[in-house]
Amino acid sequence: MNDCILISGGAGFIGSHVVRLFVTKYPETLILNVDKLTYAGNLKNLSDIENRKNYKFLKADIVDPEEMKRIIRENKVTGIIHLAAESHVDRSISDPFTFAKTNVLGTLSLLAAAKEFWETLPEKYEDKLFYHVSTDEVYGALEITTPEGGQAPFRTSASSENNVAYGTDFFVEETKYDPHSPYSASKASSDHFVRAYHDTYGLPTIITNCSNNYGPYQFPEKLIPLFINNILNNKPLPVYGKGENVRDWLYVEDHARAIDLIFHKGKPGETYNIGGFNEWRNIDLIKTIIKTVDRLTGKPEGSSNHLITFVTDRPGHDMRYAIDSRKLQRELGWEPSLQFEEGIEKTVKWYLDNPEWVNEITSGNYQQYYEQMYKNR
């Protein structure tokens, strides 16, 4: 193998899509998946490529700096794509210490290990890269605005014909950080450490901030797979507040393509925003999911609307996120490949076609797969 790319959190939702893409696209590069296998990690996400010659999995905790040093040194890692993170906002509210430990100290551990190893090499940082995956939530929140003489939503010139925006402001790469949840605060802190290592030590780094992802293999605590599963099981669909919060949605495979492009063509020291100009109010999103699931399961469209249950809003719930990804489009030529209606159709079909995956997650049986795997080693 010519190079070794370490992908942290590669057994998770976004990570498994990135691992699969890189293993398939770069057969001469060793793709090293390092994952602690917490509740959100699932090696069955990668069962289709687990026997490839250029794929290797290591169970390890990124918070352990000595273990990260050993792994990077022994595998002669030339690039890192850092995805491992605690990411569920509700969990961060009840357990902020875990988020600080994993997201901040874990990132620092990987940075220090990469710096130490790469500085021992004759070429040092040449052709090396530490790619840090972050979130749009570090920027805080945008207001939902109404254009003069009109009603939100309204079209944005940066979007496609079918997309609408709920304001004229978007998060750009220079937007000041203003995190509002323990999760976003921990990610903001990790971003600052990545930039500090670039500015202080010259470590070649890139940061990307992406909007909400959706698609196959997403852990069913997140909104879209949770609601698909609840509709199928005739369970309530809990909606915070009035469902008026707005999010920008990005199909996970489009995100993986962007990571691939930025990793190979992006400029070290830069930040790139990744989004789809694809804003949806939560309530409209939920009704679209309901309509799609009902249609694909042979029920009248919208017949599951009665499952919508409005609940007390969570603390610090940001009103609107909206990513401006024109820098990425302009400089590297990336753009999303799917409209949301296409993406949600593919996503719902995947969950309908893979009930055993969902059942193993909801029952907890998927974790037995790991236990048996390590017993057999």
Contact 44, 89 (CB under 8 A): no
* pLDDT value at residue 316: 78
Q: What is d(CA 263, CA 343) in angstroms, rounded to the nearest whole number?
A: 24
One of 131, 166, 183, 214 is an active-site residue; which one? Answer: 183
Of residues 265 and 358, the one with the higher pLDDT is: 265
* pLDDT value at residue 339: 83
Structure tokens at 322: 């909206």
CB atoms closer than 10 angstroms to residue 142: 23
* pLDDT value at residue 220: 84
pLDDT digits (tens, 9 = 90+) for 119-166: 999 999 999 999 999 999 999 999 887 655 455 555 443 444 556 788
Q: Radius of gyration (Cα) for the chain, nearest Å? A: 21
One of 35, 86, 136, 324 is an active-site residue; which one? Answer: 136
Residue type, 277: F
- Mean pLDDT in residue range 338-363: 90
Of residues 188 and 163, the one with the higher pLDDT is: 188
Whole-number average pLDDT of the chain: 91
* 366: annotated active-site residue: no
Q: What is d(CA 110, CA 82) in angstroms, rounded to the nearest whole number?
A: 8
* 137: annotated active-site residue: yes
Q: What is d(CA 20, CA 153) in angstroms, rounded to the nearest whole number?
A: 37
Q: What is d(CA 262, CA 268) in angstroms, rounded to the nearest whole number?
A: 10
* pLDDT value at residue 148: 56
Which stretch of 96-100, 176-180, 369-373 has the lowest confidence by average pLDDT? 369-373
Q: What is d(CA 34, CA 37) in angstroms, rounded to the nearest whole number?
A: 9
One of 35, 86, 137, 191 is an active-site residue; which one? Answer: 137
Of residues 321 and 161, the one with the higher pLDDT is: 321
- Mean pLDDT in residue range 37-51: 92
pLDDT digits (tens, 9 = 90+) for 296-307: 999 998 899 999
* 26: annotated active-site residue: no
pLDDT digits (tens, 9 = 90+) for 267-319: 999 999 999 888 999 999 999 999 999 999 999 988 999 999 999 988 878 89
Kind of pairing, strands 237-240 and 308-311? Answer: parallel
